[in-house]
Copies of this chain bind each other. A is one copy, B any other.
């Protein structure tokens, strides 16, 4: 998947998922290792229901993935999606021309 093929909806979902403090904390934790929901609940001191809601947001945005093992559900980062969003931002730096405005035609 290339950056040029990025749907606006993909960007919207991805950046929205990143725009919440708790979700950023979840991602920070997952940087070191996989965690199951109950571990994340304990580490972040939030309710299981709340955590599931935010994990779903992150998963829908494709930023994390899940793997079931017995009754546990383990979550981990999907770095490919991070790279995609990173590339989108990088293209601003690479392919932007900071031209001054052509004077507005209004009176």
Binding site for B on A (CB under 8 A): 8, 11-13, 15-16, 18-21, 24, 27, 31-36, 38-39, 72, 74, 76-77, 79, 82-83, 85-86, 89-90, 92-93, 95-102, 104, 106
Q: From the candidates B21, B85, B96, name the one contacting A8 in the complex (CB within 8 A).
A: B21
Chain B residues with CB under 8 A of A86: 86, 89-90, 92-93
A79/B93 contact (C-beta < 8 A), A8-B24, A36-B101, A100-B33 known: yes
Give 5 A-B contacts (CB < 8 Å), ordered by A residue.
A8-B21, A15-B15, A31-B92, A33-B98, A79-B98
Nearest opposing residue in chain B for A30, CB measure: B96
The smallest C-beta distance from A80 to any residue of chain B, in angstroms, reads 9
Contact assessment for A24 and B11 in the assembled complex, using a CB-CB cutoff below 8 Å: yes
With A33-B100, A89-B89 as contacts: A12 and B19 at CB distance below 8 Å: yes
Asked if B85 and A98 make an inter-chain contact with CB atoms under 8 angstroms apart, the answer reads: no
With A33-B101, A34-B100 as known contacts, state yes or no: A12 contacts B8, CB within 8 Å: no
